[in-house]
Amino acid sequence: MDVYTLLFALSTLWVGPFWFAMMLKPYDAKTSEMMNKPWFFAGPICIWFLIMILHPEGLVDFANSGSHPDGFMAGLAVGMSSKAGITAMWSHMVAGDILATRWIWKDSIRRQNSPWVIRLCVFFGVMLMPFGLLFHFIFRKRAISAS
């Protein structure tokens, strides 16, 4: 197993405990304690930085993607067509997904949504983010007054 395969797997596995906590025990005090610290997204972000240190050409490829003779998208495709590029993109996506999922979870708790609604939205928040957000906006309770 090469370093990029290991980092790819590690960025995926890092968010697992946080995701499962939000999904399985959304109202638990331990879950709140875990999710109120930045550790839930720190792993994938640190992995992204590590990849940039191991493969700094990736940033150069990204910076040069706008000047690719076949256009920006072709330049991006070239930059992401390596193990380092795919692993960096994946860790970036995983960090974004868990960050958005935390927002879904936190908003659901504030609105006192049903645990089953929270579970549905959190599940899709990490698996298919657009659906997680869509389900959250469809099924969430309206804002609770501050009175």
The pTM assigned to this predicted structure is 0.85
Gap between the Cα atoms of 130 and 145, Å rounded: 28
Cα 74 to its chain centre, rounded Å, is 25
For 27, 57, 67, 85, 93, the CA distances from 79, given in Å and listed in that order, are 42, 9, 12, 6, 16
pLDDT digits (tens, 9 = 90+) for 83-98: 888 899 999 999 999 9
**Which residues have C-beta within 8 Å of that of residue 92, sequence separation ≥ 6?**
44, 48
pLDDT digits (tens, 9 = 90+) for 96-119: 999 999 999 999 999 999 999 999
For the ranges 31-40, 52-61, 93-102, 109-118, which has the lowest average pLDDT? 52-61
Per-residue pLDDT averaged across 128-140, rounded?
Answer: 95
Gap between the Cα atoms of 45 and 88, Å rounded: 9
